């Protein structure tokens, strides 16, 4: 966005303090806003009407889902509020979010996890960064199941962070979401035994990646197919995170929020598969007016 030379000195100072991912998202939001306007975006364009129109355009013309539109809105409003606090924008935003359909959280059952682990052991496909592919996949899935880590953390894991004696894995804040809070995870003895099989070749990363993530997800889809498991967009690594949360919650109610490092219980609720957490079912509690009569007249 542009309006005066003074503004151009201010916003870049904020951008350089943010992560590369945030900078990219901010730049993309400004780019699409300008595309919607048909010209370079100006500070004077920061009005509720213009931003609401841009959101509708993203939804209908760019065919983005409501979640993606709201994410773009969040980036734009963060910038707008910053500029308003610095008195470069005349007013603060009041643009509301789009309603988002909330999918039912799904996790892997124990039977499905057994199939996934078996498929990892049977993997005969390519290796990863010189590490045996079967061992690499076993390590990945076991660590993810034990900890509920996000993908970015998994890719960044280093051998130096692991205490072989205790099974503690100390992950610094710099590789975690938000870059504010580190985390200490605990690995099961089974997972440690698997990790010992992939210590060679010597390297810094526990789970080295080949070239790009697209190649990984293609292989992961193949793995899921071989296990006879769903491989849709909600059945990737984040499903393992939901699996960890759901099974932990089933044995220790209320514990998943801290284990996943969530900011609130409300966030955690979006991860819990009620089929696993065994919440009370209304149908089990309601009196049956015709108890014992299951036949249809």
Residues 271 and 151 in one domain: yes
Cis peptide before 20 (omega within 30 of 0): no
For residues 75 and 26, the answer to whether their CB atoms sit within 8 Å is: yes
Residues 212 and 268 in one domain: yes
pLDDT at 9: 43
Residues 115 and 78 in one domain: no
Predicted TM-score (pTM) of this structure: 0.79
User: Is residue 287 classed exposed, middle or buried when 0-12, 13-18 and 19+ CB atoms within 10 A define those classes?
Assistant: exposed
- Per-residue pLDDT of 68-102, as tens digits, reads 999 999 999 999 999 999 888 889 999 999 999 88
Number of structural domains, the chain?
Answer: 2
**Residue 69's closest CA among 45, 33, 44?**
33
pLDDT at 148: 96
Residues 164 and 242 in one domain: yes
122: left (phi over 0), alpha (psi -120 to 50) or beta: alpha
278: left (phi over 0), alpha (psi -120 to 50) or beta: left
pLDDT at 178: 83
153-168 mean pLDDT? 97
Distance, CA of 11 to CA of 5 (rounded, Å): 11
Residues 156 and 270 in one domain: yes
Question: 68 by DSSP, 3-state: which?
Answer: helix
CATH assignment of the domain containing 9: 1.10.150
Residues 79 and 223 in one domain: no
Domain assignment present for residue 12? The answer is yes
Confidence of residue 286 (pLDDT cuts 50, 70, 90): confident
pLDDT at 16: 54
Residues 114 and 241 in one domain: yes
Least confident of 115-119, 133-137, 210-214, 247-251: 210-214
Residues 48 and 191 in one domain: no
- Per-residue pLDDT of 211-266, as tens digits, reads 677 789 999 999 999 999 999 999 999 999 999 999 999 999 999 999 999 989 99
Residues 140 and 268 in one domain: yes
More confident residue, 209 or 188: 188
Distance, CA of 47 to CA of 33 (rounded, Å): 12
pLDDT at 10: 46
More confident residue, 290 or 42: 42
Strands (E), the chain: 168-171, 183-186
Other beta carbons less than 10 A from residue 297's beta carbon: 3
Distance, CA of 215 to CA of 221 (rounded, Å): 10
For residues 122 and 134, the answer to whether their CB atoms sit within 8 Å is: yes
Other beta carbons less than 10 A from residue 231's beta carbon: 16
30-48 mean pLDDT? 94
If you write DSSP's letter for every residue of 218-257 in order, what string do you get?
HHHHHHHHHTT---STTSSHHHHHHHHHHHHHHHSTT-HH
Distance, CA of 16 to CA of 50 (rounded, Å): 27
Q: Which domain holds residue 32?
A: 5-85
Residues 194 and 228 in one domain: yes
pLDDT at 137: 97
Cα end-to-end distance, the chain, whole Å: 71
CATH assignment of the domain containing 259: 1.10.443.10
Distance, CA of 75 to CA of 224 (rounded, Å): 34
For residue 119 the two structure tokens come to 């498929």
């Amino acid at each position: 966005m542009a309006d005066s030379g003074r503004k151009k000195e201010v916003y870049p100072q904020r951008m350089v303090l943010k992560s590369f991912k945030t900078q990219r998202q901010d730049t993309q939001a400004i780019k699409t806003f300008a595309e919607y306007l048909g010209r370079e975006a100006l500070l004077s364009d920061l009005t509720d009407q213009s931003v609401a129109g841009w959101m509708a355009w993203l939804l209908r013309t760019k065919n983005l889902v409501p979640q993606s539109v709201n994410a773009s809105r969040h980036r734009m409003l963060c910038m707008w509020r910053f500029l308003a606090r610095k008195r470069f924008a005349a007013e603060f935003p009041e643009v509301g979010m789009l309603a988002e359909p909330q999918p039912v959280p799904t996790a892997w059952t124990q039977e499905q996890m057994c199939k996934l682990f078996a498929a990892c052991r049977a993997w005969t496909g390519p290796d990863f960064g010189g590490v045996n592919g079967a061992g690499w996949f076993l390590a990945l899935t076991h660590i993810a199941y034990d900890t509920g880590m996000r993908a970015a953390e998994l890719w960044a894991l280093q051998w130096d962070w692991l205490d072989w004696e205790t099974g503690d894995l100390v992950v610094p804040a710099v590789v975690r979401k938000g870059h504010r809070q580190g985390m200490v995870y605990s690995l099961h003895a089974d997972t440690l035994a698997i990790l010992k099989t992939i210590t060679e070749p010597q390297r810094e990363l526990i789970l080295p990646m080949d070239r790009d993530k697209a190649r990984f997800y293609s292989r992961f889809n193949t793995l899921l197919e071989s296990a006879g498991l769903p491989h849709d967009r909600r059945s990737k690594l984040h499903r393992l995170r939901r699996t960890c949360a759901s099974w932990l919650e089933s044995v220790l109610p209320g514990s998943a929020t801290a284990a996943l490092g969530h900011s609130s219980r409300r966030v955690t609720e979006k991860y819990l598969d009620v089929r696993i957490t065994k919440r009370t079912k209304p149908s089990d509690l309601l009196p049956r007016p015709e108890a014992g009569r299951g036949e249809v007249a």
